[in-house]
Amino acid sequence: MIRLDKYLANLGLVSRRESAEACKSGAILVNGEVIKKSDFRLFGHEILRVYDQEIEVLEKVYAILYKSAGYISSDEDEFGYLSYKKQMLDCPYVNLLHVAGRLDTDTEGLLLLSNDGQFIHQTISPKREKEKEYEVWLKSPISPEECESLRQGVKLDDGYLTKPAKVEHIEEKKILLTITEGKYHQVKRMLQAVGNEVFYLKRLRIGAWTLDGLEKGEWKLINIDG
């Protein structure tokens, strides 16, 4: 349960002060009924209309974005780069969302997003060993021996030994790599450890969640219960 004015402010539609004025003017409807008090209580799944925008009230939101390279995984623009949220301006819940597993700025692919703190923690926790699958283009041909080293686990530049990975050799300079960890720049550092270098990187999957036909810059809401 949440107050109407707080929910509107969280969405970034109107401030709490503006919501009181909007209610007085009859601009806010819940399930077709004009709401005159901004402290009206929402319980979830109501149809909320604010001026000409209609939204389903969701307490917890889960989404997938196909992030394009060149966008950062931060909620705000930083260091001259645009936030991934700039690719979701048509999502009414965008201001609620946070990343569950970041991607490098120069990496494209699946970003899992939510406002559910427990879900985010469970997704990124190393203890959960949730699989993350990447399509990896390499600067040099990769040998069967290098693939086997990745499968066994490799020592990174800081001495950390990675857990065994799944590797599928697709083309001379392309592999599918599946890991269960999320160390800083891990995929790039793993390939450096076997004497190669990543040319381009795309995340295809986190756990059971995939891009599932999304194009770059597209997003969709998901149901984590199946």
pLDDT digits (tens, 9 = 90+) for 149-186: 999 999 999 999 999 999 999 999 999 999 999 899 99
pTM of the model: 0.92
User: Is residue 104 flagged as an active site residue?
Assistant: yes
Model pLDDT, residue 126:
86
**Which residues are 54's β-sheet partners?**
49
Model pLDDT, residue 98:
98
SS3 118: helix
User: Measured between alpha carbons, how far is 48 from 127 in angstroms, rounded to an integer?
Assistant: 39
Q: Which of 104, 106, 158, 225 is catalytic?
A: 104
Supply the DSSP symbol for 141. Answer: -
Domains of the chain: 2-56 (3.10.290.10), 62-125+209-221 (3.30.70.580), 131-206 (3.30.70.1560)
Model pLDDT, residue 225:
80
Model pLDDT, residue 1:
84
Handedness of CA 172, 174, 176, 178 (dihedral sign): positive
Which regions in the chain score pLDDT beneath 70? 226
